[in-house]
């Protein structure tokens, strides 16, 4: 069981996006607990939702009459600013958008997003259910019926469950269950959603969901500076929306911007050719490149163990259309890459901000212990493992070996991903991680 943590989330329903907090399961006094920011009155439990992270932050600073007030890390959360309480892309749940997702092809993004939405809905119902075991009627019968459907259970198996002819039928079955039961599910839940933020806001303050991005990072003038991620991985706040609705800044320090729709559309081509765009952020700057796997061994766009990085997807595309020799030219699908006009836009899981993990480890070492889980290490480590394999960086492989401190921390991340890093461990890991980043940086060639 992971140690206690609190995660900012966003819920979209009826064209409104509300911000709140979720405390994932933790163990205390031999019992398992889980909770959302809300209250229970007259045997009715509600979740408080707020029109902006700033409103949520103001509530946290001034109120203790809620279900998270006794949470072990609440004193830390109560001092956080709006930027710290802005959810990352993995913790935004669009309850309105499930029909559109179910109508798409079952790629990994569609399957993962539906699975995540189903998971949070089930957790909400579990926490909001105040009926006694002896009661004949359940408060969330539709949710229970929906979650029990084998078609919905198949979402947890990943995109492989929807491959081939039988997979196509299974995906159609998922859509049918949503058509049949989803309206009942959200109706049950909506009765427990408090859109007034515990009496601190009005429904009129909520922008439409398409406009909500403008307000996400808006904080009061007296908000304290700085950032501490609350139980989130490195890069959690870096992917928040900026530059107008529907435009996401892809990693801190990145020059790449793209709408989620554009990224999803481009992914269809890149997944089909088996070569994926990748973004890497190091102290020298960020860049995009390409990566594939040959016999499960990573191979990058580069030559002689050096990885070519380009400032923008357009720069990368122009290089791919040229005649310079590199290590991907022998891949069978390379002619399609060289000839395509599909932009090489990296998906969220293919972005590796190596610099921000160093900063997060420094924050934990300096006093933010208990707020950053071990899973923060996983994605950056996956990226550097591939880079080290391609570039022959034996020192990086040594630092990530199972017997080394970083390797042991990654093993814990696999077994207990939500276990927070402590200050002493973070201080030790930061030294090794900085050495990893320096070695990787030396294998990157920034191309004009």
Return d(Cα 309, Cα 254) in angstroms, integer: 12
What's the pTM value of the predicted model, to 2 decimals?
A: 0.51
Query: 418 is written with which tokens?
Result: 């939500």
pLDDT band, very low/low/confident/very high, at 135 (cuts 50, 70, 90): low
Cβ neighbours for 171, distance < 8 A, ≥ 6 positions apart: 102, 106, 162
Check whether 1 has a pLDDT greater than 60.
no
Whole-Å CA distances, 431 to 339, 358, 361, 419:
44, 9, 9, 21
Candidates 356, 354, 370, 358; CA nearest to 423 is 370
**Burial annotation 180-194 (CB, 10 A radius, 16+ → b, else e):** ebbeebbebbeebbb
Instruction: Tell me the percentage of the chain whose pLDDT exceeds 70.
Output: 86
Q: How far apart are the two ends of the chain, measured CA to CA in Å? A: 48
Q: Say yes or no to pLDDT of 176 above 90.
A: yes
Q: In sequence order, which residues have a C-beta less than 8 Å from that of residue 20 and are 6 or more positions away?
A: 8, 9, 10, 11, 36, 37, 38, 47, 48, 49, 50, 56
How many CB atoms are located within 10 Å of the residue 117 CB?
A: 20
Tally of CA atoms within 13 A in the half-sphere of 207 that contains its CB: 11
Residue 289 has a pLDDT of 97
Looking at residue 160, what DSSP letter applies?
G
Whole-number pLDDT of residue 42 = 81
Torsion of CA 198, 202, 205, 208, to 10 degrees: 90
Residue labelled with tokens 């957790």? 123
Tens digits of residue pLDDT in 33-51: 889 999 988 888 999 999 9
Q: Which DSSP letter does residue 373 get? A: B
What gap in Å lies between CA 360 and CA 376, rounded to an integer?
Answer: 9
SS3 234: coil
Q: How far is residue 362's CA from residue 356's CA, in Å, rounded to a whole number?
A: 10
Q: What are the CA-CA distances from residue 27 to residues 2, 91, 128 (Å)?
A: 7, 22, 19
pLDDT band per the 50, 70, 90 thresholds, residue 224: very low
- Reported as a single tens digit per residue, the pLDDT across 52-63 is 999 999 999 989
Region 305-314: mean pLDDT is: 94
Read off the tokens for 109: 């993004």
In the prediction, which pLDDT does 285 show? 84
Provide the pLDDT for residue 72: 84
Tokens of 91: 């913790």
The answer, yes or no, to whether residue 419 has pLDDT greater than 90, is: no
Query: pLDDT (tens digit, 9 = 90+) per residue, 364-416?
Result: 888 765 667 888 898 999 999 999 999 999 999 999 998 899 999 998 888 88
| β-bridge mates for residue 447, sequence order | 310
Length of the chain in residues, anyone?
A: 448
Report how far residue 404's alpha carbon sits from residue 378's, in angstroms, rounded to the nearest whole number: 15
Distance CA 197, CA 80 (A): 17
Determine what percent of the chain falls in helix, strand and coil, rounding each to the nearest 5. 45, 20, 35
94 CB-near residues (< 8 Å, 6+ apart): 12, 117, 209
Highest mean pLDDT: which of 229-233, 326-330, 347-351?
A: 326-330
């Amino acid at each position: 069981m992971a140690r206690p943590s609190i995660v900012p989330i966003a819920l979209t329903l009826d064209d409104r996006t509300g911000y709140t907090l979720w405390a994932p399961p933790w163990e205390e006094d031999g019992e398992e607990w889980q909770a959302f920011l809300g209250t229970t009155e007259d045997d009715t439990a509600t979740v408080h939702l707020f029109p902006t992270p700033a409103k949520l932050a103001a509530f946290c600073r001034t109120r203790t009459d809620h279900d998270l007030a006794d949470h072990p890390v609440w004193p830390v959360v109560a001092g956080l600013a709006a930027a710290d309480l802005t959810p990352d892309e993995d913790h935004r749940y669009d309850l309105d958008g499930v029909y559109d997702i179910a109508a798409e092809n079952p790629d990994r993004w569609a399957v993962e997003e539906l699975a995540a939405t189903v998971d949070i809905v089930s957790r909400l119902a579990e926490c909001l259910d105040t009926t006694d075991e002896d009661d004949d009627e359940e408060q969330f019968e539709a949710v229970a019926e929906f979650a029990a459907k084998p078609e919905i259970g198949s979402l947890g198996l990943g995109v492989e469950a929807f491959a081939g002819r039988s997979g196509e039928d299974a995906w159609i079955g998922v859509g049918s269950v949503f058509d049949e039961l989803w309206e009942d599910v959200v109706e049950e839940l909506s009765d427990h959603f408090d859109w007034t933020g515990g009496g601190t806001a009005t429904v009129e303050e909520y922008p439409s969901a398409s406009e909500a991005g403008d307000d996400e990072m808006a904080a009061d003038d007296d908000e304290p500076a700085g950032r501490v991620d609350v139980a989130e991985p490195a890069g959690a706040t870096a992917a928040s929306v900026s530059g107008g609705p529907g435009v996401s800044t892809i990693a801190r320090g990145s020059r790449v911007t793209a709408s989620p729709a554009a990224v999803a559309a481009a992914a269809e081509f890149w997944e089909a050719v088996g070569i994926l765009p990748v973004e890497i952020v190091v102290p020298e700057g960020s860049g995009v490149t390409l990566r594939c796997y040959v016999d499960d061994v990573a191979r990058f766009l580069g030559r002689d163990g050096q990885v070519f990085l380009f400032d923008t997807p357009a720069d990368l595309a122009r290089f791919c259309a040229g005649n310079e020799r590199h290590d991907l030219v022998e891949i069978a699908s390379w002619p399609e890459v060289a000839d395509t006009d599909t932009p090489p836009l990296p998906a969220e899981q293919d972005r590796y901000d190596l610099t921000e993990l160093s900063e997060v480890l420094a924050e934990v070492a300096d006093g933010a212990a208990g707020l950053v889980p071990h899973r923060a290490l996983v994605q950056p480590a996956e990226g550097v493992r591939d880079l080290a394999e391609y570039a022959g960086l034996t020192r990086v492989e040594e630092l990530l070996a199972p017997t080394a401190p970083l390797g042991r921390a990654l093993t814990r991340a696999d077994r207990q991903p939500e276990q927070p890093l402590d200050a002493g461990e973070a201080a030790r890991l930061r030294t090794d991680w900085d050495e990893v980043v320096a070695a990787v940086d030396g294998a990157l060639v920034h191309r004009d």
